[in-house]
Chains A and B, each alone.
Chain A
Amino acid sequence: MDNYSNTNRNRRYKAHVSIFGTTQLHLKSPVIVACWSMAFPGFGHLILSKYLRGMLLFVWELFINQRVHLNQAMVYTFIGDIAAAKEVLDTSLLILYIPVYFFAIWDSYRTTVDLNKFYILAERENAPFNSFSIGALEINYLDKRNPLMALFWSLTVPSMGQLYIHRIVLGFFNLIMTVIFVNSSHMLTGIQYLFLGDIVASTASLDAQWLMYIPSFYFFTAYDAYTNTIENNKLFEQEQRYYLKRCYQPPQFTIVKGSKVS
C-alpha cells in the first residue's frame, strides 16, 4: 500500500519510495561515478540505482576475472614480476573482458550526465511522489537517518549500511558477495594469524585472486551507504517542506498583533 498512486499525468518524478527501496534522482559527479566503474564494472550503475545492469556487470566481471585470473596477474604486475603475470593469465577470455570494462565506464558516465539533466527537470516540475509504502514483506518510508551510522555499519560488514537505509536489493546482493569474497579469500584466517602476530603465515593463508576484490568492494559499499543516506535526508526535508506548504498555510490565517507574554 502506498500513500500516493502515480497518476501518470506528470512527465518526470524525482523519487519513488517502494517496498524494495528509496529510489531517487540527485545530482552526481559523472567523473566519480566513472571512477567507481573503473574500480569494478557495475559499481557506477549501482550508485545510480540501476541495479539490474549493475549486478549483471558485476557478476560478469567476477566470472571473467575468475577465468582469466586477472586479479592474480594484477598482483604479480604490482610486485614487478611481469613474467609470472603473463604466465598466470588465461588469454582465451581476456579479449572478451576489455570491451565490457570500457562500456561500463562509458555507460555509467553518460547515464549520470543524462540523469543530472532529468533531475533538474523533475525538480522544476516538482511532481508529487510516493513517500510511504507498506506491504506484506516490508515497510519503507522517508525519514532522517544518520550518515555516520550508515558509514560505520558498512565498515563493519559491507551491506549493513544499505540495509540501514533500506536499499534492500543492493543490501541483499552485497551481503551475498561479502560472504563469497571473505570465504574464498580466507581473509578471516589471515586476520586471525595477524592477531597472533604471525605475518608470514597470514600472507601464506590468503588467496590473492579472491582477496583483491575486497578493497574496492569494501570502500564502494561504504561510499554508497553514506552518500545515499545524505540524499535520502535531503529528500525527506524537501518532501516535508512541500507538505507543510500544501497543507498548513490556510489563507484565512491571521497573526495576532499583541505582545510577547512569558
Chain B
Amino acid sequence: MQVFATFEHSSFVELAITALEEKGVGDMFAVPLDNRRGERNVFDTLHRADGISNVGKGMVLAVVFSVIGASRGFVMAWGPIYWGLIGGVSGFVIGLAIDIWINKVWKKNKRLLRGKNAEIILIVTCEDKQTEMVEALLWEHLAQGLAKIR
C-alpha cells in the first residue's frame, strides 16, 4: 500500500514524517513542488508570500506625511497628534496605491502563487494493516489531500 499526501510548508510536515518513523514506517519520498505563477496579493500572509513587499513605499510616504502633518499640526486646529496620524495613514494609502498600480497595471507580470495550494507531495509506503494509522496521522498533521494506491 502506498499513501500520497500533499502539504503546505510548515513544521507539521516534519512532525508527520518523524511520527511515522517512530511507528516504524520509514519508506517515504518527499517532493517539494515549484508553484504556479499567479496573481499577486496586496498583503502577504502566513501562508502566502510572493516576495514583493508592498508596504515599502507606503511606509516611507507615511513617515514623510506624518512628519510634515505633525509639524504643521502645532499651528492647525486639530493639533499635532491628529495631523500626524492623518498624514501617516494618507501617506501609507498613497504609497500602497502607487505600488498596486505599478504591479497590477504597469508591470502585469505574474508572480509566484504560494500557499493554500500543495507545496509538498509526501509518498509513504506501508503495509496494508498500517494504512489506517498512516492515513489518520497524515490528516492529523494537516495534510491537504490524500490518496491510497494498491
A and B: bona fide binding partners: yes
- Size of A's binding interface in residues, CB under 8 A: 60
Complex CA distance for A218 and B62, rounded to whole angstroms = 10
Write the residues of chain A forming the contact surface with B, with a CB cutoff of 8 angstroms. Answer: 29, 32, 35-36, 39, 74-75, 77-79, 143-148, 151, 187, 190-191, 194, 199-200, 202-203, 206, 208, 211-212, 214-216, 218-220, 222-223, 226-227, 230, 233-234, 236-237, 240-241, 243-245, 248-250, 253, 255-256, 258-262
- Number of residue pairs across A and B with beta carbons under 8 Å? 161
Q: Please determine whether B75 and A79 come into contact, CB atoms closer than 8 angstroms.
A: yes
CB A209 to nearest CB in B, in angstroms, measures 11
Complex CA distance for A143 and B60, rounded to whole angstroms = 28
Q: Please determine whether B53 and A226 come into contact, CB atoms closer than 8 angstroms.
A: yes
CB A221 to nearest CB in B, in angstroms, measures 10
Q: Please determine whether A187 and B81 come into contact, CB atoms closer than 8 angstroms.
A: yes
Q: Please determine whether B125 and A148 come into contact, CB atoms closer than 8 angstroms.
A: no
Q: Please determine whether B60 and A32 come into contact, CB atoms closer than 8 angstroms.
A: yes
Interface status of B66 (Cβ within 8 A of chain A): yes
Interface of A is mostly: helix
Interface status of B93 (Cβ within 8 A of chain A): no
Q: Please determine whether B73 and A203 come into contact, CB atoms closer than 8 angstroms.
A: yes
- A29, A79, A233: which contacts B71 (Cβ < 8 A)? A79
Contacts of B63 in A (CB 8 A): 39, 215-216, 219-220
Complex CA distance for A151 and B59, rounded to whole angstroms = 12
CB nearest neighbor in B for A198: B79
